[in-house]
Structure formats: C-alpha cells, structure tokens
C-alpha cells in the first residue's frame, strides 16, 4: 500500500514538472521541419544504442523473460533466443531508417517548394526592376524624336543629316530586349517595346526613302514588340525584324522585300497584298495569318508553322516551304511554280486551282488535302508518290492518278534518282 502510494506520488510530481516545463517552453524548440528531423534522428540513435546494449547484456531482463518463458514451454535454446532478439533489433532498425527517410524526403520537398517560390519572387522583382529601368529610355527616344522634328521643319525633302541618322541608329541598338510582367506572370519571350515604338514613330514621319533606308541599314529592330501595330503601306524593305512579335499587326500593302523575319511570331497578322519577295522567314510561328494577294516569290519559309494561314491568289513562285506545317491552310488559286514543299505537312490544306508546275512535292503529307484541278507538270516527286497519294484520301487525288505518270529524270546528271510527274 505504501509502495503504491509512493509510485502514484512520483507520477503526479512528474506530470506537474512536465506541465511546468511545457508552460515555460523549456527547452526552446524550433518549429521548422529540419529541427524535428534532427530531434527524431537523435531519439532513434539513442534507442538503437540502448537496443544494442540490451542484446549484448546477457543478464538483461528481456533475455531472462524470454528464457523463463521458453523453459516453461519447452527446453531452453539460447541460439534461438538470440536469433529472436536480432530479428527484433533488425526490424527496429529498418523501421527507424524508414521513418528518417520519409522525414528527410518531406523536408526536401518542402525546401524545394520554398526555394521555387523564392526564385519566382526574385524573378518577378528582377523583371519589374528591369522594366522600370527600360521605361526611362522613352525619355531618350523623345529627345531624339524632338531633334528629328526640328530638322524636318521647313524641310520638304524629309531628309535627315548623317549625324541624326547615326543618333537614331545608336538609340535603337541601345534598346535591349527584356522580359516583362504581363498580369501576374512573366512573359516567355524577350522583346523590346522601345524598338517597336521607335519603328512606328519613324514610319509615321514619312521620311525620305534614302534616309529611311540608311536608318534600316544601321539600326537593328530585332525582337521588337510590334503586337497590334499599324504598319499598313510601310516601307520595311531590308529591315531586320529577327525574332520580333508581329501578332495582330496590320501590314497590308507593306513592302518587306528582302526583310529579315527569321523566327518571328505572327498570330492573326495581316499581310494582304504585301510584298514579301526574297523575305527570310525561317522557323517562324505564323498561325491564322493572312497573305491573300501577297507576293512571296523567292521567299524562304523553311520550318515555319503555317497552320490555318491563307494564301488565296498569292504569288508563291520559287518559294521554299520545306519542312513546314500547313495544316488547314488555304492556297486556293495561288501560283506555286517552282515552289519547294519537300517533307511538308499539307493535311486538310486547300490547294485547289493552283499551279504547282516544276515544283517539289517529295515526301509531302496530303491527308484529306484538296487537290482539285491542281497543275503538276514536271513536278518533282518520289518514285511511289502516286501510291502514297492514293492512300491519303485527298480530294482530286483520283484525277491526278489517272492523268499523270511518274517518270525518272535521265537528263539531270545527278547521282540520286530524280522523278517527275508528266501528263499521260
């Protein structure tokens, strides 16, 4: 009775002491997950050492208890007893290791998520800082444009001095592209709104042709942000607009002869009746864009994405369309003499009433393509082109198979076999 009362008193004292320590928050504990993992690891290590000591102490209470229990049931076997203890210790070690691994993994994921959030925040602050810095360059552009206005006053020739032209070129080249914050996200492309605004302003000034050509030859408008710009009837011949964004821009009747438009982005852009002769437009994204009545002769559009583009009655003679994606594009009544479509995708495209004589249509995908009344005189194809066309379910394909033959060209002198289509 006295012993039970003493035990109860000790338990109450321990509870009171534990409550007192918890009330004072002693010792200090860190709320971070790393502290919890470390604290748990220390407990596991202490328990592991205690278990090892328990196993190797032959007079331990656990061994005596197991031995006495086995003696009451059957003859005592010490090897079996130690094997049982080792299994228990091994299971305890594996369980402890699993707990630590899960805790470390959770800590790693939490740390990575926190790091990603901090990186995104730093990127946003960097973009905002850069945008504010770049916006100050508009003041420099205004100063230069004011200088231009002063020179053009009472100047019917609309010509600028070489010094002013050099100043405009230096200003334009100093406008570096950068990412901007669009809403709550960072833009995926680096663009220069300043270059776009400068180009629009120069087009509105109606400068002398020789003056504007001098500016275009010295200044680079690459990566200009021209989204939604109105450049109708603008003289942009030989201009450098490499990697610019022309989405939703109006370039009807504009002159882009020999222009550099490599890797530009054009979404719903209007090039109707524009002159794009000898234009360089490789590897560009040109979706839902209009080239109706435009001149694209001798242009290079290799690797472009022309999905759902329109080329109605356009001049595409000797144009390079290799490796292009033209799904759903409309080329009705276009002139394609000498055009190269090798390995292009013309799925569901409309090539009705086009003249593709002396062109190249090897390895082209014609799935559900409209080929009604297409002209293919001496067009270069692969040897099994008619068989592939028969499986493509193309409109007008049956008439082509009936009206043309694939013959080997023996006059080219090339080491590789070349085949052409001829009328039967």
Domain boundaries along the sequence of the chain = 22-128
User: What is the CB neighbour count within 10 angstroms for residue 76?
Assistant: 14
pLDDT tens series, the chain, 424 aa: 566 666 666 666 766 665 555 555 555 555 555 555 565 666 666 666 666 665 555 445 555 555 555 555 445 455 555 565 566 666 666 776 676 677 667 767 777 777 777 777 666 666 556 655 555 667 778 888 888 888 888 888 999 999 999 999 999 998 888 877 666 676 778 899 899 999 999 999 999 999 999 999 999 999 999 999 999 999 999 999 999 999 999 999 999 999 999 999 999 999 999 999 999 999 999 999 999 999 999 999 999 999 999 999 999 999 999 999 999 999 999 999 999 999 999 999 999 999 999 999 999 999 999 999 999 999 999 999 999 999 999 999 999 999 999 999 877 666 578 999 999 8
* pLDDT score recorded for residue 21: 54
User: Around 182, how many Cα atoms within 13 Å sit in the side-chain half-sphere?
Assistant: 8
Main-chain phi, psi angles of 374, to 5 degrees: -80, 145
d(CA 219, CA 18): 78
DSSP string computed for 4-68: HHHHHHHHHHHHHHHHHHHHTT-S----SHHHHHHHHHHHHHHHHHHHHHHHH-TT-HHHHHHHH
Distance CA(213)–CA(167), nearest Å, equals 15
Q: The pTM is what?
A: 0.69
pLDDT of 115 reads 74
Angle at 180 between CA 175 and CA 181, to 5 degrees: 160
Give the number of other CB atoms < 10 A from CB of residue 47: 13
User: In Å, how far from its chain's centre is CA 83?
Assistant: 60
Whose tokens are 């035990």? That residue is 7
Q: Which residues pair with 423 in a beta bridge?
A: 404
Position 58 scores a pLDDT of 47
* Whole-number Å distance between alpha carbons of 95 and 140: 69
Instruction: Please tell me the distance from the alpha carbon of residue 258 to that of residue 129, in angstroms, as a whole number.
Output: 37
Q: Tell me how far apart the 2 most distant CA atoms of the chain are, in Å.
A: 122
Tracing tokens 């559900």 back to the chain, one arrives at 368
Tokens of 182: 């669009």
What is the C-alpha to C-alpha distance for residues 422 and 229, in angstroms, rounded to an integer? 47
Check residue 8 and give its pLDDT.
Answer: 64
Model pLDDT, residue 59: 46
Q: What is the pLDDT of residue 364?
A: 95
Q: What is the pLDDT of residue 203?
A: 94
């Amino acid at each position: 009775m006295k012993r039970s009362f003493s035990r109860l008193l000790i338990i109450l004292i321990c509870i009171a002491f534990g409550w007192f320590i918890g009330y004072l928050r002693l010792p200090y504990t860190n709320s971070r997950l790393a502290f919890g993992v470390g604290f748990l690891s220390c407990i596991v290590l202490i328990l592991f050492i205690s278990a090892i000591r328990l196993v190797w102490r032959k007079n331990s209470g656990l061994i005596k208890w197991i031995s006495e229990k086995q003696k009451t049931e059957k003859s005592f076997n010490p090897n079996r007893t130690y094997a049982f203890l080792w299994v228990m210790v091994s299971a305890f070690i594996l369980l402890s290791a699993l707990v630590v691994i899960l805790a470390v993994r959770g800590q790693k994921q939490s740390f990575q998520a926190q790091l990603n959030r901090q990186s995104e925040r730093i990127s946003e602050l960097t973009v905002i800082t850069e945008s504010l810095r770049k916006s100050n360059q508009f003041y420099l552009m205004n100063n230069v444009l004011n200088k231009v206005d002063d020179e053009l006053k009472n100047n019917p020739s609309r010509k600028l001095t070489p010094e002013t032209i050099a100043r405009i070129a230096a200003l334009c080249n100093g406008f570096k592209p950068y990412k901007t914050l669009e809403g709550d996200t960072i833009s995926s492309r680096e663009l220069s709104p300043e270059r776009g605004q400068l180009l629009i302003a120069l087009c509105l000034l109606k400068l002398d042709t020789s003056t504007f050509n001098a500016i275009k030859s010295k200044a680079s408008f690459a990566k200009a942000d021209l989204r939604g710009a109105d450049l109708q009837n603008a003289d942009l011949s030989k201009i450098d607009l490499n990697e610019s964004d022309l989405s939703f821009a109006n370039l009807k009747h504009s002159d882009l002869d020999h222009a550099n438009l490599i890797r530009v982005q054009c979404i719903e852009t209007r090039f109707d009746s524009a002159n794009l002769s000898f234009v360089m437009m490789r590897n560009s994204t040109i979706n839902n864009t209009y080239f109706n009545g435009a001149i694209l002769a001798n242009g290079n559009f290799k690797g472009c994405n022309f999905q759902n583009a329109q080329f109605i009655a356009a001049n595409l003679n000797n144009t390079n369309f290799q490796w292009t994606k033209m799904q759903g594009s409309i080329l009705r009544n276009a002139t394609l003499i000498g055009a190269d479509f090798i390995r292009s995708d013309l799925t569901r495209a409309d090539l009705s009433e086009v003249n593709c004589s002396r062109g190249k249509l090897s390895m082209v995908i014609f799935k559900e393509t409209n080929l009604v009344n297409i002209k293919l005189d001496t067009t270069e194809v692969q040897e099994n082109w008619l068989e592939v066309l028969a499986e493509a379910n193309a409109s007008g394909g049956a008439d082509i198979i009936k009206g043309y033959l694939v013959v080997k060209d023996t006059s080219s002198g090339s080491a590789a076999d070349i085949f052409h289509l001829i009328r039967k």
